[in-house]
Structure 1
Amino acid sequence: MLRRLLELKNYTSFRFAERLQDNGILPSMGSVGDSYDNALMENFWSTLKIELVYRTSWRTRDEAENAIFAYIDGWYNTRRIQKELDDLSPDEYETAWHHQHTSQTEPDSVTPAPTGSR
């Protein structure tokens, strides 16, 4: 399974594109048949292999699958510094964005609303 997962390289196959089209989904990857069609995924697999697979050995397939899942979900997507995000990780960027937008919309002091007459 791990070997097959790491060797899978046909990310924008015609069948995949047809399935997306059948479900009304536009692909977010490059077009099929040019030099850019696999560039993003090739870069991802290369990084995963260099940073995880070649540095680690596992006793079982489950250990390997769990490590790859943890890498993708816990490290690669949330903590990795991104140049496009001003050299912040996605988590740091999102936190800064929320802090900036909530501090602009919240008043400095909270005044209770009048209760009206009884």
Structure 2
Amino acid sequence: MGIHCCLNYVARLMQEAGLKARNGKAFKYSPSPEARYGLADNILKRHFAAERPNQKWTTDITYIRVQQRWLYLATVMDLYSRRIVGWALDTQMTETLITQALNMALGQRHIEPGLIVHSDRGVQYRATRYQSLIRRHGAIPSMSRQGNCWDNAAMESFFSRLKVELVYAETFKSVEEARSSLFEYIEIFYNRIRRHSTLGYLSPVDFENFNTQ
């Protein structure tokens, strides 16, 4: 209101009026012993650039609202071109969901031993069968540090664009409608048309084609 006063003056007025500020509660996270199983080191270490395809992949899960329920989208991104090489959609956030996304990526890409597959520390990504799938293909699991979303910034950026450019602009009436729209966005628009400043304003597919000829 344009009235200059110091913090202590405001505090005294509030005290006289019997008012208290509403503050957040302190919270200290203490993971259970089970939450430490299946962890992997942060091998990626925010080095999101890659010299060739299938050298570094990153993966994550996001939420999408459909009517009165949530859908869960798991995606796998090749950091070389920012191309989404695998994805899966389900009504439950399970190990099966992320395995389907990874299997799609493994099925359409020619990988070599040493591929880094990065994720957060979610219980799905720490599951034994999922970890075994990674290692069975000669890949190396990598995980973000505890509570640090910036360690997976490339995927967080994709989810942000996805929601701004598609999800927030639509009201999905069914799971199939959401699945169809996500397919069109990921496979047609994002991978093949949408230009990226980090790729010299080429789409992921054009970037791969231009640089692997």
More helix by share: 1
1:53 maps onto 2:167 in alignment: yes
CA RMSD of aligned residues (A): 3.2
| 2:170 maps to amino acid | T
| Alpha-carbon contact 1:79-1:89 (below 8 Å) kept | yes
Deviation at 1:68, TM superposition (A): 0.7
- Structure 2 partner of 1:20: 134
Moved more, 41-50 or 70-79: 41-50
Deviations 1:30-72 (A, max 9, x none): 6432634332222211111111011011332211111011101
Query: Which fold has the larger relative contact order, with Cα–Cα distance below 8 Å and residues 6 or more apart in sequence?
Result: 2
- Structure 2 partner of 1:37: 151
* Unmatched tracts of structure 2, length 5 or more: 1-62, 65-69, 75-92, 99-118
Secondary structure of 2:134's partner?
helix
| Residue among 176, 185, 194 paired with 1:80 | 194
The separation in 1 between residues aligned to 2:155 and 2:209, in whole angstroms, is 27
| Alpha-carbon contact 2:190-2:203 (below 8 Å) kept | no
Residues paired across the two proteins, number: 96
| Alpha-carbon contact 1:20-1:26 (below 8 Å) kept | yes
| 1:37 maps to amino acid | D
Identity %: 30
Secondary structure of 1:4's partner?
strand
More strand by share: 2
| Alpha-carbon contact 2:144-2:151 (below 8 Å) kept | yes
The separation in 2 between residues aligned to 1:94 and 1:6, in whole angstroms, is 24
The separation in 1 between residues aligned to 2:153 and 2:209, in whole angstroms, is 30
* Unmatched tracts of structure 1, length 5 or more: 102-118
Deviation at 1:88, TM superposition (A): 2.3
TM-score (norm 2): 0.36
The separation in 1 between residues aligned to 2:209 and 2:136, in whole angstroms, is 37
